[in-house]
Every structure is written in structure tokens, then in C-alpha cells.
Amino acid sequence: MWNYSETVKDHFFNPRNAKALEDANAVGDVGSISCGDALRLTLKVNEQTEVIEDAGFQTFGCGSAIASSSALTELIIGKTVTEAEQLSNQQIVDYLGGLPAEKMHCSVMGQEALEAAIANYRGIELVDDDHEEGKLICRCFAVDEGKIFRAVQKHGLSTIEDVINYTKAGGACTSCHEKIEMVIDEVVAGKGPQSATAGEDSARVQPISSLPPTNPLMQKVLEILSNLRPYLQADGGDVSLVKASENLIVVSLSGACTGCMMTDMTLGWLQEQFSEALGFAIPVVNHIPEPVAESA
């Protein structure tokens, strides 16, 4: 098992400030249950002095996620909002006496929850840019295949070192180096990201022309989709049709239907529903928008 420091163990077994503040005036939510960890940070900020007088965390996650949340609250209580804003995830790591490389993301989650809570206090809305594409390659820094593929392609990277410098992927435990080499080889060979999900893969390699809106099959597909949408909307997601042919339906998922395991699960469900309603098996894949300009 993990070689957690004594401080990590202490904060896990005896978490500090594990509570929801009833009189909070700042709330920060990050993560989700489907991604495996989630943190809700509640702060009581003195509006005159801007001092964080109390902080509470509620965390769903592993030992180090709970310890990082606990450490976070200890680090920020008594600081002003401006001081707390300077807190980095590394300070959480240092406070805990270190974290295993594969668990660094737990400290990042703490820092992000703080950022979200401060934004909430100031009335600023943060844009959620959490997205995932394809298989997770680097588990230490949570870098997926799509991101590595694009970095290799865009910057003409050819070695593991390059990939580490540009994306961080492979920079810690090194167990993903073989997989990174495979991504580099794919780019050199001019292929698309290999796995993504099987569905996404076929969407890339088999461009299909959509049936005209007047086609009876197309009308049937649209009708089925409009019957299915309320179920997804009830769960905070949505789906729209991109194109359809006799042997493939391409949809675009949004909201709570995407991210982590949810994309695959939703697609599997849609595929079942479509195949059942149409009376024959038809793959349903998710449309991947062209990557927009990378932010630095």
C-alpha cells in the first residue's frame, strides 16, 4: 500500500474541520463522485477584515484526499482571503510531509477547492474546463491520451523527455513511459489517438455522411433521441444528434453525461436504447469537437 507520512495518516485518521459550516459565506466545490474524489469547502470570511475565521471540508475520496482537505483547512484558517489566495498545492504537500507522486492530484484538488471558494466569495463564476479524452496515460498527473497526442503533434515532440516537459505526463513514477512511446509512434505513423473509447475511435477513422432529414431512418433516430433526452436532462446532462447513417449514430454529449466514466456509461445506455428501438444493433459514438487552441 501507499507509503503515507505520519502526518498524512494523522490527518486521515483524525481529520480537522471535517464539517459543513452552517453560516458559511463562501463555498467551493470540486471533483465529482464519478471521478472518485470530490471536495466541498465551506468558509466563514469576516467581511470587514477579510480574514477566514473558520473553514470546513466534506470530502469523498481516498486517504490522501481526506488528509489534503484537512491540511488545507488548517493552512487557511486565520489568513486573509488575499493571503490564502497565494496558497499552492505544494504547500499542502509540504504541510503533510510529502505525498506519493501518484497522489499529488489530491493536493491539487485542495488548492482548486480554495480557488473556487474564494471566487464564490467574490461573486466570480469559474468556467469548468474539466475534460477527458481517451485513456488515462499518466496516472500521477492525470494526463490523458488526447492531450499527449495533441502536444506531440503540435510541437513535433519525439522523446519521452519532451512529453514530460510539455505535458508533465510521465514525470513521476515512469510506469507510463511505454504508453507515451506508443502515442509518439502513432503520431509519427500519422494515426489518430489509438484507444479513446472504441466509439470515439471509429468516429475519427470513419467519416460518415449523414442521412438527409427526410430519410425515414433519420426521422426515426430523431424521434428516439427526443424520447431519450428527458432522461439525460433529469440527470443534469443532454445529448444532441451530430449525424446518422445505417450503421452509425454520432451524438454529442454534454453536461453531467461527460467526463470520467460517464461518457462510456451514457453511450452504452444510448446504444442499448437505439438498438432496441430500431430493432437492429447500431453503434452510438460521441462526437469529439476539433481541439480549440490550447491554452498555455
Partner 1 sequence: MKKNIYLDNNATTKVDSMAVEAMMPLFTKQFGNPSSIHSFGDQVGAKLKVARRQVADLVGALHDSEIIFTSCATESTTTAIYSALKVNKDKKEIITTTVEHPATLDVCEQLEREGYIIHRLKVNKKGQLDLKKYAGVLSENTALVTVMWANNETGTLFPIEDMALMASEKGVLFHTDAVQAVGKIPLDIQDTEIDMLSFSGHKLHAPKGIGALYVRRGVRYRPLLRGGHQERGRRAGTENSAAIVAFGVAAEQAELHLDTLSGKVKALRDKLEQGILSQVGHTFVTGDPDNRVANTANIAFEYVEGEAILMLLNQFGIAASSGSACTSGSLEPSHVMQAMQIPFTAAHGTIRFSLSRYTTEKDIDYVISVVPEIIDKLRSFSPYWKDGKPLDIEAFEPAA
Q: Using the rule CB under 8 A, is 110 a contact of partner 1?
A: no
Identify which range of 44-52, 137-145, 160-168, 218-226 contacts partner 1 by CB under 8 A.
137-145
Least distance between partner 1 and beta carbon 254 (Å): 6
* Residue among 5, 51, 60, 162 that touches partner 1 (CB under 8 A): 60
38 near 30, Cβ under 8 Å?
Answer: yes
Cell of 61: 475520496
182 binds partner 1 (CB under 8 A): yes
Place of cell 451530430: 242
Taking the CB of residue 201, how many other CB atoms lie within 10 A of it?
A: 18
Handedness of CA 19, 22, 24, 29 (dihedral sign): positive
Query: What is the rounded CA–CA span in Å between residue 247 and residue 169?
Result: 37
Could you give the string, one character per residue 265-294, with x where binding to partner 1 holds by CB under 8 A and - elsewhere? x--x--------------------------
Pairing of strands 143-144, 136-138: antiparallel
Q: Please list every residue from 239 through 268 that binds partner 1, using CB under 8 A.
A: 254-256, 259-262, 264-265, 268
**238 is an interface residue for partner 1 by CB under 8 A:** yes
Kindly state whether residue 119 participates in binding partner 1, applying the rule CB under 8 A.
Answer: no
Is residue 223 a contact point for partner 1 (CB under 8 A)?
no
**Region binding partner 1 by CB under 8 A among candidate stretches 47-55, 88-96, 236-244, 283-291:** 236-244
Pairing of strands 284-286, 237-244: unpaired
Cβ neighbours of residue 263 closer than 8 Å, sequence gap 6 or more: 132, 197, 253, 257, 286
- The total number of residues written for the chain in this structure: 296
Between 216-234 and 262-278, two packed helices, what is the crossing angle to 10 degrees?
140
- Out of 6, 47, 125, 128, the only residue in the binding site for partner 1 (CB under 8 A) is 128
- What's the closest the beta carbon of residue 178 comes to partner 1, in angstroms? 10
**Cβ contact 38:59 at 8 Å:** yes
List interacting residues with partner 1 (CB under 8 A): 1, 12-13, 15, 18-20, 29, 32-40, 57-66, 100, 102-103, 105, 128, 130, 136, 139-140, 142, 173, 182, 233, 235-238, 254-256, 259-262, 264-265, 268
